[in-house]
Amino acid sequence: MGRIFGLLAVIVVAGGLFLFFGNDKQTAEAPADVPNTSPTAAEKPAPTTPSPSSTPSESAITKDITVKASNWQFEPNEIRVKEGTQVKITLQGVSGKHAFAIPELSVKSAEVSAGETTTVEFVASKKGTFPFKCSVFCGEGHSGMTGALIVE
């Protein structure tokens, strides 16, 4: 009788470990109109600097933002841009597996692991505060892995 309970305990623990560590494939399909992204080895985004002889409009400027994803937080967790700005988010994996999504704007990045980066670009076309989140289940703190894009 004791062996049966011991065997059941081992099965329950193994199942729990599988669900916690091995369930990395739970990602939602991206809508067809989401920009295509692909992860690459760690890289730094090239800064965009307007030429001194011209003054481009705000919508002609690309705002490059690096967001670090670790268990269970984004850094920074608040991003501010002006309406009409082209935004380029470079998601840098620090630990675990993560992805970046702004559901209300149909923005979703590819998944990254530690040491990987991916980029996603979009236009901040309307004013407001838009929550962003990790769209890959990454463990017990996953639901708290959020932030806000503020378009002014």
pLDDT category, 25, cuts 50, 70, 90? very low
Assign residue 85 the CATH number of its domain.
2.60.40.420
Kindly report which listed range (4-8, 61-65, 124-128, 140-144) carries the lowest average pLDDT score: 4-8
23 is a domain residue: no
- Phi and psi (nearest 5°) for 59? -70, -20
19 is a domain residue: no
What are the tens digits of pLDDT across the range 38-73? Answer: 455 444 444 444 444 444 444 468 899 999 999 888
Q: Which residue has the higher pLDDT, 52 or 81?
A: 81
Nearest CA among 136, 116, 97, 145 for reference residue 38 = 116
Position 86 scores a pLDDT of 97
116 is a domain residue: yes
What is the domain count for the chain?
1
Kindly report which listed range (34-48, 68-82, 87-101, 132-146) carries the lowest average pLDDT score: 34-48
Domain containing 137: what range?
A: 35-45+58-152
50 is a domain residue: no
